[in-house]
Amino acid sequence: MKVALHGLALKSEYFQHVQILFEELSKFKFEIFVTEQFDRQLRMHGNKTLSYWVIEGKQDMSKMDFMISIGGDGTLLDAVCQVGELEIPILGLNTGRLGFLATVATKDISIAIDQLANDNFQIENRSLISLQSHRRLFNGLNFALNEFTIHKRDTSSMITVHTYIDGKYLNSYWADGLIVSTPTGSTGYSLSCGGPLISPEAKNLVITPVSPHNLNVRPIIVSDDSEISLEIEGRAEKFLISLDSRSTSISSEVKLSVKKESFQAKLIKLPHYHFFDTLRQKLNWGFDMRN
């Protein structure tokens, strides 16, 4: 089997874990490939012992059976962009604190690779959000796993985002910005702005205002079959839009709409893992200093 490794910012103290990962993959006869970004990281750390092939383009990527993301949730979000419509299953190896997406700890590398090699895992299908516009944006990578965001730039005044659901007027949000989130993204930026937590398998999108001027404005959950059209108005000439961690500036003339993407992200879920376990750990549910 062929496995692709992807990482963005490998710290020196985690290079030993990468070596263990290579050893475990070699033990189970995986053919090891790395993305160009991760190849640069390995060479930066003076790698002279690890043997692998470098993936060059979508044709090489299409031959992969799995991808392992090495880093945090941000690295896994970038791995989703690397895979795109190929829908290659992704396993998140977390080299930092526990993540909502990258859930395998470095101490569990041996166990995780054994389960991967023996098909002892499940695939979680996570919906993606797609951005549509008459302009080409984000170099054609117009999808995201977490959220699409409109935001004011710098210290400019608030903006108004006129919002329509399937062509029907919903609201004009007078705020610092607006988030359209997938269920996966409900634990990210949307949550910090007061949005609801949504189970990953839910068939919904969440519209969450960022610092709204009117306090009676609240997040709303809509079906992920909906198309959400957005028109931006404000004093500034430019506004910031983002798909997960990728951002660009646009003018108010650009018409935008978001809807569910036609393909999905496939995340590898190992035995004994559940989304609710991660919620409890990340949010300290059930924790009481009196006990």
Alpha-carbon distances of 51 from 21, 32, 60, 201, rounded to whole Å: 12, 8, 17, 38
Token readout for 209 is 């205002």
Tokens 């108005």 label which residue?
233
The answer to whether 190 and 179 are in contact (CB under 8 A) is yes
Cα separation, 46 vs 168, in Å, equals: 57
Indicate which residue of 39, 60, 65, 73 is catalytic: 73
CA nearest to 10, candidates 72, 83, 77: 72
Query: Is 73 an annotated catalytic residue?
Result: yes
Cα separation, 143 vs 128, in Å, equals: 6
Cα separation, 95 vs 9, in Å, equals: 10
The answer to whether 248 and 241 are in contact (CB under 8 A) is yes
Burial pattern 172-184, b for ≥16 Cβ within 10 A else e, equals ebbbbbbbbbbbb
Which active-site residues does the annotation give?
A: 73
